[in-house]
Chains A and B, each alone.
Chain A
Amino acid sequence: MNTIKSTAIVLCICAVTACKREHRVFDPGSSGSQIANGIPLNEVHAGGPLSVPDHGPYEQSAYAVGEGKRLFSAFNCVGCHNHGGGGIGPALMDAKWIYGSHPEQIYSSIVQGRPNGMPSFAGKIPDYQVWELVAYVRSLSGQLPADVAPGRSDEIQVKKAEQAKKKEHPPDESPQPIQKGQP
């Protein structure tokens, strides 16, 4: 009797696992709802542009950008990128962006790190401070309005203030402005 019972249980377990093995998910939900899709690293998105979250509050706040500048030294970003001219890591004050110039792309670079040397700061920097850093990083190449970008530095002067930085035009900027060459 017991043998029959246990055989039945074993058969049931096998049947259940076998069922899972054969189970197929035909409707996993829309691709836009998948968090794993994350943040695009370049400006081309299959099926047209994504709607992106609003990071305006940080980029519009002189306080947030000023905090970003302080954190840029405190978290040793300066050690690799210096004051925007780069060194161990790439320059951040020019128009070139290996992993994208958009705020959410810079956010990803800081949090995830990048394979060619950028360390991951995941779990090291609170989320709002990452966004403050992102806003400051964008001010280095003149992406923020002059009334928001920092006008002074705590360290010796090694470059023009971010406030006075002429806007660079990264290749993934949209729409692309018509640029005039020097006569």
Chain B
Amino acid sequence: MSLQKMNWTVHFSKMSAGAIAPLLASVAIVCIPLGCHKQLQNVESPAGTGGQIHAYTGDMEKDDGQWVRATKDYANTRYSSLDQINTGNASGLKLAWTFDTGVPRGQEAAPIVVNNTMYVVAPWPNKLFALDLTKPGAPLKWSYDPNPSPAAKGEACCDWVNRGAVYADGKIIYNTLDGFTIALDANSGKLLWRTHLADITKGETITMAPMVVRDKVFVGDSGGEYGVRGWLAALSTKDGKVVWQAYSTGPDKEVLIGSKFKPYYAKDKGTDLGVKTWPPDAWRIGGGTVWGFLSYDPASNLIYYGTANPGPWNPEVRPGDNKWTSGVFARDADTGEAVWFYQMSPHDLYDWDGINENILLDLPIQGSTRKVLVRADRNGFMYVIDRNTGQVLSATPYVYSTTTTGVDLQTGDLKRDLSKAPKTGQEIRNICPTAPGAKDWQPSSFSPRTGLLYVPHENMCADEEAEEANYIQGTPYVGVTDRFYAGPGGNEGELMAWDPINGKKVWTITDKYPLWSGTLATAGDLVFYGTMEGWFRAANARTGQTVWQFKTGSGIIGQPVTYRGPDGKQYVAILSGIGGWPGAIVSGDLDTRDSNAAAGWGGALPDLKSVTTPGGTLYVFALP
């Protein structure tokens, strides 16, 4: 608490020293063309930091103006080629219609748009709504109630969230918190199949947005704070039968590691490392859940996804690298066989899940075009990895860090400052980045017009003490008490435009609160994102200047999308509803007099309940 206050003091003294003049200048720049809207006074000065804008030369997936999966395309760019709304006219954006999900909890879902219908998944009890975009006000076509177990709410670490559905072959497929994957007829809402995958009595839930490649839908579990064992399953889209299931820990046979497995680094080669890098049997309750987004490269027929933190958080009870947690798997999309693996955070010390999105790009690197995946990892490094081999080409820090000093590109090792390693019964201070990391689940976007990634993330530090962790099935398995606070600068959140070729920022927008919403990039050179206070904003993709903003009814932690409506107009949609891990302070009515509330957020967000209230409303915008 006292440290946090200190940081704020530092922040304001710095402001008075150097930041006021450019801040005023930028406010003036923004105000002149827009007639100085009162609400734009909060816009912060973007700071150029050396990166460059250069148009992307690689191929992009064809855009049909719809939004059939959470990530928009298989490459996870979240880029739309629609440009009807652009930097020149976005200031005129108006609310077109709204829809209330009826659930005032964290809204993390991406609305799915296909065949003039929008599909919205609400947090538990996970109703799915189909809205008819051909009629004024988009009335409800049908809804589906999966009637999930209420007990699931006690097994979900971070609010009752769901990250959205996926459309494929006339089916809409999604997951429920109590562990089911459900396929519905996209036209009628009729149940086609329903498969039970995750067992809540063991602490397993499902929150992720599934992805479909041809006739298979990929689903992974959540529950890394409950001593579960992570997996990714491939189900037949025809009948919901599990075709294969690849665990993130345990013997090679169950991890689907076989003759195809060719990891780039020597430390990942060997037999049954998912058993040998753990104390006896600890892999059975070792985490490595799969709750992030998947990517797919049709050229190599590989899927890419990250595995979450090992359990428990207290690292002292699980000596070893704890494979295959906190890393990236490349797998054959048909058979599930592992092709390579890279571990960003071996023997994770801080709850650094490796689930963040992998954006597939073809980038010019040292004179040749490399097929890479780019990921802003929770550990604070922006990785550029050869997506065919798993070789790390670069790993560049993008936040302030006291815990790591770099990544050894020869061995792939994360270089740590072990004086910041958690110890049982001892308080370790100023751990940066902290448990939610430099960036949590909130997905980035990429614009081929600027060649920049738009990365929403955090700027947080923590004090923590490791404690004895007891495994009791169905209850949390953590063993850490911590308290978070803002990192240097005093802002807890940041949206940065990142040049992935030069490994530098081009501009940043800071926010008082963690930026927990995803971003959307469009051909109108706009980047849409939301804040925990409830602002939905469009920033100029080249400069970071706020072009337009709208205050929604609750904090935003969702995924903005855009689509072409049946009337030919471009629409932008976002769910507003505070929640998720930090936002549970509001949606769960927590008491921030305990700095450890929401596993550490209490002290960092003491006033969040006074700036926003729970909600669950979809907002859709268009030009008049």
Chain A residues within 8 Å of B, Cβ to Cβ: 73-76, 78-80, 82-91, 93-94, 96, 115-119, 124, 154-156, 158-160
Contact = CB atoms under 8 A, between A and B. Distances in A.
Nearest to B601: A87
* Residue among A85, A91, A154 having the largest count of chain B Cβ atoms under 10 Å: A85
B570 interface: no
Interface stretch (B146-154, B214-222, B338-346, B383-391): B146-154
Nearest to B593: A159
Contact of B591 (A86, A154, A155): A86
A58 B150 CA distance: 32
B481 A158 contact: yes
A82 B597 contact: yes
B508 to A, nearest CB: 30
Contacts of B602: 82, 85, 158
* Residue among B156, B427, B477, B599 having the largest count of chain A Cβ atoms under 10 Å: B599
Contacts of A82: 594, 596-599, 602
B154 A119 contact: yes
B467 A119 contact: no
Given A88-B588, A89-B154, 13 more contacts: A73-B467, A85-B597, A87-B598, A90-B589, A93-B593, A94-B591, A115-B151, A118-B154, A119-B151, A154-B425, A155-B467, A158-B602, A158-B603
A83 to B, nearest CB: 5
* Residue among B463, B588, B596 having the largest count of chain A Cβ atoms under 10 Å: B596
A75 B478 CA distance: 12
B51 interface: no
B171 interface: no
Query: 9 nearest interchain CB pairs?
Result: A117-B154, A79-B476, A85-B594, A85-B597, A91-B591, A158-B596, A76-B475, A117-B153, A158-B595
Interface of B: 150-157, 225, 425, 427, 463-465, 467-468, 470, 472, 474-478, 481-483, 584, 588-599, 602-603
Contact of B157 (A88, A91, A124, A159): A88
B100 to A, nearest CB: 22
B151 A76 contact: no
Nearest to B152: A117
Nearest to A80: B476
Contacts of A115: 150-151
Contact of A87 (B151, B152, B465, B599): B599
Contact of B470 (A76, A96, A160): A76
A152 B246 CA distance: 46
Given A80-B154, A118-B154, A156-B463, A86 B588 contact: yes
Contacts of A91: 589-591, 594, 597
A169 B400 CA distance: 43
B597 A86 contact: yes
A87 B596 CA distance: 9
A118 B155 CA distance: 9
B312 to A, nearest CB: 9
A75 B470 CA distance: 7
A116 B597 contact: no
Contact of B474 (A73, A94, A119, A160): A119
A117 B593 contact: no
A88 B584 CA distance: 8
A88 B476 contact: yes
Contact of A76 (B153, B463, B477): B477
Contacts of A118: 154
A155 B424 CA distance: 10
B588 A87 contact: yes
A2 B121 CA distance: 72
Contacts of B481: 78, 83, 155-156, 158
Given A82-B602, A88-B157, A155-B467, A96 B594 contact: no
B295 to A, nearest CB: 30
Contacts of B150: 115-117
B434 to A, nearest CB: 14
A40 to B, nearest CB: 21
17 contacts: A76-B478, A79-B478, A84-B593, A85-B590, A85-B598, A86-B589, A87-B584, A87-B588, A88-B156, A88-B588, A90-B588, A93-B594, A94-B591, A115-B150, A158-B595, A159-B594, A159-B596
Contacts of B478: 76, 78-79
Nearest to A120: B474
A143 to B, nearest CB: 15
A74 B476 CA distance: 11
Contacts of A155: 465, 467, 481
Contacts of B474: 119
Nearest to B597: A85
Contacts of A73: 467-468
B235 to A, nearest CB: 27
Contacts of A88: 154, 156-157, 476, 588
